[in-house]
Amino acid sequence: MTPFFSLCVYCGSRPGVEPAFAATAAQVGRWLGEHGGQLVYGGGNNGLMGVMATAALEAGARVVGVIPHALVEKEWAKLDCTELHVVENMHERKRMMAERADAFLALPGGIGTFEEFFEVWTWRQLGYHDKPIGLLNEAGYYDTLLAFLWSSVSSGFMSEWQMELIRVAGDAPSLLQDLRQASSSAARATNLSQI
């Protein structure tokens, strides 16, 4: 059975200091289960990643984890994923995650989350895919990043249309709903094999 909404989520491999971040990660996982969705993520069992995937499985979502073999121990690969793909390297991981998703969402996280979010954003502006991208600005976590990005627009290094490629919200359920709706109307043109 093809799930009607497959969401690739990038988030921290650490929990962060605010318990609210883990609560929201669990809420995202549960939402996917309650809406018959599928979670695609990095396959780890630590931090927000583990909390989200556990909640998704408990709520009945399919969970697709994709992890490079070098990180299986470091990130505690989540062995009870519906599908766990142990791949050769980080590049293969990111491409498979992108191919298996209808939309992307970044939650609070660190350097890995930032890198993955920026990568799918740049792929979108280059036309490698046409899938919606969300940024969950939980408790203003990304306020300073967003302010910097807008300052880059003012400085002439970015365009407003590039900013408009991302959907930013502070509230998980409305952003999830928005991404699901946008993904069903997206043309879904993908050239991800070219990355």
Binding status of residue 113 toward ligand AMP by CB under 6 A? yes
What is the nearest approach in angstroms of ligand AMP to the Cβ of residue 31?
Answer: 20
The pair of structure tokens assigned to 60 is 């009945």
For residues 169 and 107, give the distance between their C-alpha atoms in angstroms, rounded to a whole number.
Answer: 11
Contact status: 111 vs ligand AMP (CB under 6 A): yes
Window 55-74: residues binding ligand AMP (CB under 6 A): 71
Q: Is 12 in the site for ligand AMP (CB under 6 A)?
A: yes
Region from 26-34, 80-88, 113-121, 187-195 binding ligand AMP, contact rule CB under 6 A: 113-121
**Does residue number 16 form part of the binding site for ligand AMP (CB under 6 A)?**
no
Is residue 45 within the footprint of ligand AMP (CB under 6 A)? no
- In angstroms, give the least distance from the CB of 110 to ligand AMP: 3
Residue with the shortest CB distance to ligand AMP: 112
- Going through 11-130 in order, the beta strands assigned E by DSSP cover 38-41, 62-68, 83-87, 103-106
- Between the alpha carbon of residue 115 and those of residues 1, 19, 68, 93, the distances in Å are 32, 24, 16, 13
Contact 116, 135 (CB under 8 A): no
Q: Residue 103 interacts with ligand AMP (CB under 6 A)?
A: no
Give the torsion sign (CA, 82, 87, 90, 93).
Answer: negative
116 CA to centre of own chain:
8
Interface ranges with ligand AMP (CB under 6 A) = 12-14, 42, 44, 71, 75, 90, 109-113, 115-116
